[in-house]
């Protein structure tokens, strides 16, 4: 008798850690349950361990643990358990058992002609899916594709400043041709942030026909000065315009399916979305400027409150939606020339893994061998801005560990704002120190928060060990 066969797909917005942690958790849970599993990962380097059509066909169940689009339409006719990537990490055993028990929803396509290469789009709100999670999933699909543009562009622009803050200005004595080229290339990459965000939100909602409409809508939003907020709005408008058009054009003969895909959807979609975004640009630009000014004003008026908010958000779920809200706000402000806000966000994201590292360093005898090894590895992960390394520690005792991590991150962020540090690159951790303004003070801020947090976490662990001994 053949083993029960499961296929799975995992993916998180950044595609750095959660994606592979969920893969590992599902594989381990399946092995313990005595069932067969193949997990496809959707990370930043693309799809790995890809599922073949034959493997999907022979699967008894499908698990999707992702906060981005993983092309679920492939699993038509299969029962799918669709959860967030964090559930894939924390509840892998339960998900495997649910798959064995035959739970999940049946994936039903509305495609009328599979050979036509087109698909009728169905608003997923009609499915038994949490609408809030659905919106988050579409948004994070846009964010995951946007981040490499922001990171690559931001780092190149930051490196160009090594030749001087005015090194890209031909009229200034600091001008350097190579630095100017770096600045230009990096600026182009950063400039694609809003269109890419919009395009892949729309693509998540309406598959490929949504892509072009979302991209053009994002360009209109970007040119209209609506910023990051405009990209989000245009992406959702574009996606659901295509969904609406697919319903309106559903009665056309099958022979015209090709015409719909290459002519009617893009032309009508771009026309409708473009007009709507032009009309919305002025009020949204006003809202966007007001929002950015409000956030930026905290830096001078009350850096303690700002640092407390940013630190708590960054460490609360370490790569989850609350963490991403702080990080994405930082990247949006960075794209508009504000590098102060991102400095605090980066500090708060770097601190949690370092906190676990210092805790293991100071109180090693209260940790197991595996935990000690993980803690020391977290010195490397934290130094390169990979917050997720602290998740295994938090998962074992969330009620005490997470508040401790939030405290340490908040101290790091508060000190960063008080020291008026500027970080012009959205990722990289200590690797971008050469381009950080007041870099030494930034390191001091992060280490202060991390050491205090590490000592507190160690004392908690020591107390727990004492209670157990009694």
What's the DSSP call for residue 361?
Answer: H
Window from 127-136, 257-266, 313-322 with minimum mean pLDDT: 127-136
Question: What strands, in cross-sheet order, belong to the sheet with 36-43?
Answer: 46-48, 36-43, 5-11, 61-66, 79-83, 105-106
pLDDT of residue 117: 42
CA distance linking residue 242 with residue 236, whole number of Å = 10
Mean pLDDT confidence for 150-176 = 80
**Main-chain dihedrals φ then ψ at residue 176, nearest 5 degrees:** -140, 130
**Which residues does 262 contact at the CB level (< 8 Å), separation at least 6?**
none
Mean pLDDT score of the chain, rounded to an integer? Answer: 82
Residue 214 near residue 272, CB atoms below 8 Å: no
Beta strand 105-106 with 79-83: parallel, antiparallel or unpaired? Answer: antiparallel
Q: Whose CA is closest to 446, among 343, 362, 363?
A: 343
**Residue 94 to residues 84, 127, 395: CA-CA distances in angstroms?**
14, 22, 16
Q: Of 241, 249, 247, give the one whose Cα is nearest residue 273.
A: 241
* Backbone phi, psi, residue 60, to 5°: -85, -20
Question: Would you say residue 215 has pLDDT above 70?
Answer: yes
- Residue 359: helix, strand or coil by DSSP? helix
The pLDDT of residue 286 is 81
Length of the chain: 470
Burial class (CB in 10 A: 0-12, 13-18, 19+), 455: middle
Of the chain, the percentage scoring pLDDT greater than 70 comes to 89
CB 226 within 8 A of CB 170: no
pLDDT over threshold 70, residue 120: no
Q: Where do runs of H (alpha helix) occur along 192-264?
A: 193-223, 227-248, 257-259
Nearest Cα residue to 274 out of 218, 327, 333:
218
> How many Å separate Cα 307 from the centre of its chain?
21
Other residues' Cβ atoms within 10 Å of the Cβ of residue 346:
30
Asked if residue 18 lies in contact with residue 388, where contact means CB atoms within 8 angstroms, the answer is yes
Of 396, 245, 402, nearest in space to 319 by CA: 402
Q: Cα(99)–Cα(103) distance, rounded to whole angstroms?
A: 6
Residue among 6, 7, 9, 12 flagged as catalytic: 12
Judged by average pLDDT, the poorest of 178-187, 234-243, 365-374 is 365-374
CATH architecture of 5-109: 3-Layer(aba) Sandwich (3.40)
Position 241 scores a pLDDT of 94
User: Is 12 assigned a catalytic role?
Assistant: yes
What's the mean pLDDT in 80-84? Answer: 88
- For residue 420, the SS3 value is coil
Give domain limits for the chain.
5-109, 131-296, 302-469
Among candidate residues 199, 188, 150, 211, the one with its CA nearest the CA of residue 334: 150
Q: Residue 237 pLDDT more than 90? A: yes
Mean pLDDT along residues 75-83: 86
Collapsing DSSP states into helix, strand and coil, what is residue 66? Answer: strand
Q: What are phi and psi of 100, to 5 degrees?
A: -65, -35
7 forms beta bridges with 38, 62
* 377-428 pLDDT, tens digit each: 888 888 877 777 787 787 777 888 889 999 999 999 999 999 999 888 777 7
């Amino acid at each position: 008798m053949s083993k029960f066969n499961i296929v799975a797909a995992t993916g998180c917005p950044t595609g750095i850690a959660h994606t592979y942690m969920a893969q590992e958790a599902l594989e381990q849970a399946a092995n313990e349950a005595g069932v067969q599993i193949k997990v496809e990962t959707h990370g930043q380097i693309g799809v790995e361990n890809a599922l073949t059509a034959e493997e999907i066909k022979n699967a008894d169940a499908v698990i999707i643990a992702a906060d981005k689009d993983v092309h679920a339409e492939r699993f038509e006719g299969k029962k799918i358990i669709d959860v967030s990537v964090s559930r894939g990490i924390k509840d892998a055993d339960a998900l495997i058992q649910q798959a064995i028990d035959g739970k999940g929803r049946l994936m039903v396509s509305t495609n009328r002609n599979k050979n036509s290469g087109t698909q009728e789009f169905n608003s997923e709100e009609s499915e038994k899916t949490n609408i809030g999670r659905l919106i988050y999933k579409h948004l994070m699909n846009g964010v995951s594709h946007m981040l490499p543009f922001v990171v690559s562009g931001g780092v190149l622009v930051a490196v160009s400043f090594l030749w001087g803050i005015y090194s890209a200005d031909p009229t200034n004595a600091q001008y350097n041709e190579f630095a100017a080229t770096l600045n230009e290339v990096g600026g182009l990459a950063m400039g694609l942030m809003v269109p890419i965000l919009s395009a892949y939100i729309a693509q998540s909602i309406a598959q490929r026909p949504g892509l072009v409409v979302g991209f053009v809508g994002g360009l209109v939003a970007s040119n209209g000065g609506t910023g990051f907020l405009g990209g989000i709005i245009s992406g959702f408008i574009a996606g659901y315009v295509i969904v609406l058009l697919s319903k309106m054009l559903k009665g056309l003969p099958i022979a015209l399916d090709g015409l719909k895909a290459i002519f009617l959807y893009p032309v009508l979609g771009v026309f409708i979305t473009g007009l709507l975004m032009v009309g919305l640009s002025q009020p949204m630009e006003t809202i966007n400027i007001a929002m950015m000014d409000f956030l930026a004003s905290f830096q001078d008026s009350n850096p303690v409150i700002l640092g407390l908010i940013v630190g708590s958000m960054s460490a609360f779920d370490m790569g989850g939606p609350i963490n991403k809200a702080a990080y994405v706000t930082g990247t949006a402000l960075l794209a508009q020339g504000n590098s102060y806000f991102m400095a605090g966000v980066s500090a708060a994201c770097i601190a949690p893994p370092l906190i676990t590292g210092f805790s293991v360093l100071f109180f090693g005898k209260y940790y197991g061998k595996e935990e000690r090894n993980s803690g020391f590895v977290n010195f490397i992960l934290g130094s390169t801005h990979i917050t997720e390394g602290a998740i295994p520690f938090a998962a074992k005792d969330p009620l005490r560990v997470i508040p401790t991590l939030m405290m340490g991150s908040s101290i790091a962020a508060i000190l960063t704002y008080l020291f008026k540090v500027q970080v012009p690159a959205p990722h990289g951790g200590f690797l971008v120190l050469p381009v950080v303004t007041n870099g030494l003070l930034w390191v001091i801020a992060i280490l202060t928060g991390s050491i205090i947090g590490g000592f507190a976490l160690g004392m908690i662990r020591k107390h727990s060990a004492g209670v157990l001994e009694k």
